[in-house]
């Protein structure tokens, strides 16, 4: 017997229709690359998105065509999110921090039809354009007045939108239709495309909005600092329309001061970004003795949130931290570390230790940990294994790589190593390629980094496994000191003493000016491993060799 309820496909355009009907006066504020602040409402967003959809049609963009963007977080990018996907095309967000050769590879692999880009990227697009055979139109996301005179080969976004009437009805189609495309950052090998659908996006949007996820509502002012060019800004551009939250887009200025000022003037209640960006904001707040007057929740993910950062935000600034985990292949939202009733009655330290984990699943997402042979491991908080995920917003196959099956028994192996405790809180101990294998035992680089970050003289830390004659690999800590600190390796290792098992103690510490960062704001460990591979076998260590007994 079939149920007798309405068949309404889960389409991205329905989010916009809802926002226009039920939250039409809610604001969207953007800091533009043109240098000013732009404001309008959801009603304006809906109107201009319809015009843009008409313009795409006029440019010959067909259902399934790929519409690429090279853009910061802003209202025009949001219009593209809705116009491209809503009209049946596929929005392909390209990460402008990639090397131009990688961008060329990605745009060619996706066979993008049109490329929209912010003014910032004009020189880059000029260089790239001759190499992008599939792209028929290049559109600068600005008005003609802001374009240099010699850009006749490019269209102006405002010309396109201004020429249309907005008399457009969003088409209805199968909810499994592709909606957007995002490539993994490709730290190993070529990037791989992850193709989201309308259905997966809508279900993911419900999931991120739930109270035990980001807990979004119409009373929130959300600032997605996490870029719209990487995994759909963790779903916030969709969730804002779903719940009717005010949105604040920071544009290209992601330094501590710019973010702080915008956050304060717009009274942002929830902001989301990677730990390195939060670090900049905290540094600014500390240097200027300022407070966050409206901020209630800090969503931190993409890389492990150091417990010291969590503690500062919560205890010094009164901001609740929502530590989340996910990846391009999981849309990205997988888990959030939001307490359960079992956290009541815990000491502050114990509660913070729970929140420092990557968190638990919301309905839809499922996780398991397995050993090397694929046997499921217990949820005891200490058995570490390969983390596998499944759910309706988890990837099944890679775009253009349909010949390869990435799944194992219907689960997606994430490449992360994790524990899961009895309450279902998952904790990442490492990326499988970063785990340090000392004498056949695993040492968690993230634990050692978190501990190092607790020292006031440490601004940033990365722990890597380097060659060792006896134990194959031993941990080496690579540290950036805080500006005023004159910390030595011996002092830092003394700080570790008693806080971890003796055999986990790093064999040495090296100090560097800065850590190599990837295109999504994460530390790149591969070049560090390359640079320091023989550090322990050739260099004289600055600390005596300790009795390591894995």
User: Is position 320 annotated as part of the catalytic site?
Assistant: no
Q: Least distance from C-beta 326 to ligand ADP, angstroms?
A: 6
Q: Decide if residue 390 touches ligand ADP (CB under 6 A).
A: no
Q: Choosing from 442, 488, 503, 541, which is the catalytic residue?
A: 442
Q: Which of 110, 303, 367, 451 binds ligand ADP (CB under 6 A)?
A: 303
Q: Which of residues 195-234 bind ligand ADP (CB under 6 A)?
A: 231
Q: Decide if residue 263 touches ligand ADP (CB under 6 A).
A: no
Q: Residue 152 and residue 229: Cα distance in Å, rounded?
A: 26
Q: According to DSSP H, which parts of 211-253 are helical?
A: 236-243
Q: Decide if residue 431 touches ligand ADP (CB under 6 A).
A: yes
Q: Which of 91, 160, 298, 304 binds ligand ADP (CB under 6 A)?
A: 304
Q: According to DSSP H, which parts of 266-319 are helical?
A: 275-288, 307-311
Burial 204-237 (b: 16+ CB within 10 A, else e): bbbbbbbebbbbbeeebbbbbbbbbbbbbbbbbb
Size of the site for ligand ADP (CB under 6 A): 22
Q: Is the dihedral of CA 175, 176, 177, 179 positive or negative?
A: positive
How far are the Cα atoms of 137, 198, 343 from residue 156, in angstroms, in the given order? 11, 28, 54
Q: Decide if residue 328 touches ligand ADP (CB under 6 A).
A: yes
User: Is position 127 annotated as part of the catalytic site?
Assistant: no
Q: Is the dihedral of CA 308, 313, 314, 317 positive or negative?
A: positive
How far are the Cα atoms of 117, 244, 248, 281, 446 from residue 41, in angstroms, in the given order? 23, 11, 12, 28, 42
Return the structure tokens found at 289: 């003795």
Q: Decide if residue 521 touches ligand ADP (CB under 6 A).
A: no
User: Is position 437 annotated as part of the catalytic site?
Assistant: yes
CB 196 within 8 A of CB 181: yes
Q: Least distance from C-beta 432 to ligand ADP, angstroms?
A: 9
DSSP string, 374-424: -PBPP-SSS--EEEEEESTTS-SS-BT-TTS---BTTBEEEEEEEEE-TT-
CB 114 within 8 A of CB 136: yes
DSSP label at 323?
A: E
Stretch that binds ligand ADP, among 16-24, 287-295, 299-307, 360-368 (CB under 6 A): 299-307
Return the structure tokens found at 354: 């729970």
Q: Which of 72, 196, 278, 325 binds ligand ADP (CB under 6 A)?
A: 325
Q: Decide if residue 448 touches ligand ADP (CB under 6 A).
A: no
Q: Which of 428, 460, 461, 509 binds ligand ADP (CB under 6 A)?
A: 428
Nearest residue to 277 (alpha-carbon basis) of 249, 304, 300, 252: 300
Which is nearer to ligand ADP, 224 or 244 (by Cβ)? 224
Which is nearer to ligand ADP, 200 or 358 (by Cβ)? 358
Which is nearer to ligand ADP, 30 or 414 (by Cβ)? 414
Q: Least distance from C-beta 196 to ligand ADP, angstroms?
A: 13
Q: Choosing from 93, 177, 184, 330, which is the catalytic residue?
A: 184
Residue with tokens 């322990």: 536
Q: Is the dihedral of CA 505, 507, 510, 516 positive or negative?
A: negative
Q: Which of 414, 419, 444, 450 binds ligand ADP (CB under 6 A)?
A: 414
Q: Least distance from C-beta 389 to ligand ADP, angstroms?
A: 9
CB 297 within 8 A of CB 320: yes
Q: Residue 238 and residue 135: Cα distance in Å, rounded?
A: 27
Q: Which of 112, 164, 416, 507 binds ligand ADP (CB under 6 A)?
A: 416
CB 468 within 8 A of CB 507: yes
Which is nearer to ligand ADP, 30 or 520 (by Cβ)? 520
The helix or strand, by DSSP H or E, that contains position 428, with its residue range, turns out to be: strand 426-431
Q: Least distance from C-beta 321 to ligand ADP, angstroms?
A: 11
Q: Decide if residue 508 touches ligand ADP (CB under 6 A).
A: no
150 Cβ neighbours under 8 A, 6+ residues apart: none
Stretch that binds ligand ADP, among 63-71, 164-172, 218-226, 297-305 (CB under 6 A): 297-305
Q: Choosing from 27, 120, 320, 437, which is the catalytic residue?
A: 437
Q: Decide if residue 184 touches ligand ADP (CB under 6 A).
A: yes
User: Is position 329 annotated as part of the catalytic site?
Assistant: yes
Which is nearer to ligand ADP, 227 or 364 (by Cβ)? 227
Q: Least distance from C-beta 224 to ligand ADP, angstroms?
A: 15
Q: Which of 224, 227, 235, 301 binds ligand ADP (CB under 6 A)?
A: 301
Do you find a cis peptide bond into 332, omega within 30 degrees of 0? yes
Q: Which of 26, 185, 209, 450 binds ligand ADP (CB under 6 A)?
A: 185
Give the chain's end-to-end CA distance (angstroms, integer).
Answer: 61
Q: Which of 193, 302, 385, 506 binds ligand ADP (CB under 6 A)?
A: 302
Q: Choosing from 164, 329, 449, 473, which is the catalytic residue?
A: 329
Q: Which of 108, 120, 187, 531 binds ligand ADP (CB under 6 A)?
A: 187
Q: Decide if residue 520 touches ligand ADP (CB under 6 A).
A: yes
Which is nearer to ligand ADP, 303 or 458 (by Cβ)? 303
Residues that bind ligand ADP (CB under 6 A): 184-185, 187, 231, 301-304, 323-328, 332, 358, 414-416, 428, 431, 520
Report, as residue numbers or ranges, the catalytic residues.
Answer: 184, 329, 437, 442
């Amino acid at each position: 017997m079939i149920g007798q309820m309405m068949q309404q496909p889960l389409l991205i355009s329905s989010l916009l229709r809802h926002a226009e009907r039920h939250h039409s006066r809610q604001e969207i504020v953007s800091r533009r690359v043109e240098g000013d602040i732009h404001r309008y409402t959801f009603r304006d967003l809906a109107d201009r998105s319809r015009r843009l959809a008409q313009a795409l049609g006029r440019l010959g963009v067909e259902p399934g065509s790929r519409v690429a963007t090279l853009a910061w977080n802003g209202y025009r990018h949001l219009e593209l999110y809705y116009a491209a996907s809503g009209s049946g095309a596929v929005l392909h967000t390209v990460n402008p921090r990639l090397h131009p050769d990688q961008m060329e590879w990605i745009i060619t692999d996706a066979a993008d039809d049109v490329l929209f880009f912010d003014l910032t990227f004009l020189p880059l697009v000029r260089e790239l354009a001759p190499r992008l055979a599939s792209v028929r139109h290049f559109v600068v996301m600005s008005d003609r007045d802001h374009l240099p005179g010699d850009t006749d080969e490019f269209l102006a976004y405002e010309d396109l939108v201004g020429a249309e009437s907005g008399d457009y009805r969003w088409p209805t189609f199968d909810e499994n239709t592709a909606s957007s495309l995002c490539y993994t950052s490709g730290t190993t090998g070529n990037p791989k495309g992850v193709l989201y659908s309308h259905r997966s996006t809508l279900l993911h949007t419900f999931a991120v909005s739930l109270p035990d996820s980001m807990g979004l509502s119409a009373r929130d002012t959300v600032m997605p600092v996490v870029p719209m060019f990487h995994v759909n800004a963790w779903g916030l551009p969709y969730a804002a329309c779903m719940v009717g939250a005010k949105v604040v887009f920071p544009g290209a200025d992601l330094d501590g001061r710019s973010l702080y000022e915008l956050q304060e003037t717009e009274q942002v209640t929830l902001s989301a970004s990677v730990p390195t960006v939060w670090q900049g904001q905290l540094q600014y707040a500390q240097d200027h003795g300022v407070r966050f007057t409206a901020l209630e929740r800090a969503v931190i993910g993409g890389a492990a949130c150091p417990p010291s950062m969590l503690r500062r935000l919560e205890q010094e600034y009164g901001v609740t931290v929502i530590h989340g985990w996910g990846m391009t292949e999981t849309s990205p939202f997988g888990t959030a570390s939001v307490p359960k009733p079992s956290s009541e009655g815990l000491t502050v330290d114990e509660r913070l230790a729970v929140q420092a984990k990557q968190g638990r699943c919301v309905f839809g997402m499922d996780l398991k940990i397995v050993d090397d042979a694929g046997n499921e491991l217990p949820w005891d908080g200490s058995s570490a294994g390969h983390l596998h995920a499944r759910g309706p917003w988890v990837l099944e196959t890679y775009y253009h790589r349909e010949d390869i099956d990435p799944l194992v028994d219907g689960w997606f192996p994430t490449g992360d190593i994790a524990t899961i405790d009895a309450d279902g809180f998952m904790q990442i101990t490492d990326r499988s390629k970063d785990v340090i294998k000392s004498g056949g035992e695993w040492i968690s680089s993230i634990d050692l980094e978190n501990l190092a970050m607790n020292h006031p003289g440490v601004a940033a830390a990365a722990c890597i496994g380097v060659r060792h004659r006896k134990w194959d690999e031993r941990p080496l800590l690579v540290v950036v000191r805080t500006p005023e600190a004159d910390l030595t390796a011996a002092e830092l290792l003394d700080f570790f003493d008693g806080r971890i098992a003796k055999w986990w103690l790093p064999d040495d510490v090296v100090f560097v000016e800065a850590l190599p960062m990837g295109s999504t704001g994460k530390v790149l460990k591969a070049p560090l491993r390359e640079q320091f591979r023989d550090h322990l076998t050739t260099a004289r260590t600055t600390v005596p060799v300790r009795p390591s007994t894995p």
